[in-house]
Amino acid sequence: MCVKWLDEKREISSAMTLFVTTALFCFVGSHLRMPQELSLFWPVNALLTGIIVRFPWLHRTRNYFVCYTAMVLNDTIFSGWTGSAFTINFANILFVFVAAAILLASPPAQDGNALRVGKAMRIFAACLIASISCASWGALAQGEGMNEKLITAWSDWFSEQFSTGVLLLPFLLTLKRQTSLSRAVISTKMVLPVIALILSVCASAMIGGAGSLSFPLPAMIWCAIRLPIVATTLLMLITGITEIILVVDGIITIQGGDSSLPLSHLMSARLGVATLAIGPFIVSVSMDAIRRLNYQLALRADYDFLTRLLSRSGLYEQLRGRETASCQRAGVMIIDIDYFKSINDSFGHDAGDAVLEELAQRLRHVVGDRGLLCRFGGEEFVAVFFNVDREALWHHAESIRQAIEQEKFVLQGNTVNITVSIGIACQHRLSGKDRISAINGLISAADKNLYYSKRNGRNQTSPALHECVA
- What pLDDT, in 10s, does the model give residues 80-138? 666 678 888 899 999 999 999 998 886 544 444 445 556 677 888 898 899 999 988 88
Dist. CA 6–CA 21, nearest whole Å: 11
- What pLDDT, in 10s, does the model give residues 374-396? 998 889 999 998 888 888 899 98
Instruction: State residue 419's pLDDT score.
Output: 93
Assess whether pLDDT exceeds 90 at residue 74: no
| Chain Cα centroid distance, residue 88 | 37
Residue 425 neighbours by CB distance under 10 Å = 25
Per-residue CA distances from 155 to 162, 163, 262 (Å): 10, 12, 9
Q: Is the peptide bond before 463 cis (omega within 30 degrees of 0)?
A: yes
H helices present in 112-187, as ranges: 117-141, 148-174
Q: Is 167 exposed, middle or buried (0-12, 13-18, 19+ CB in 10 A)?
A: buried
- What pLDDT, in 10s, does the model give residues 334-382? 999 999 999 988 888 888 999 999 999 989 888 888 888 999 888 999 9
pTM over 0.85? The answer is: no
**Confidence band of 469 (pLDDT split at 50, 70, 90):** very low
Per-residue CA distances from 187 to 190, 191, 193, 227 (Å): 5, 6, 11, 10
* SS3 assignment, position 386: strand
HSE, CB side, 13 Å, CA atoms: give it for residue 282. 12
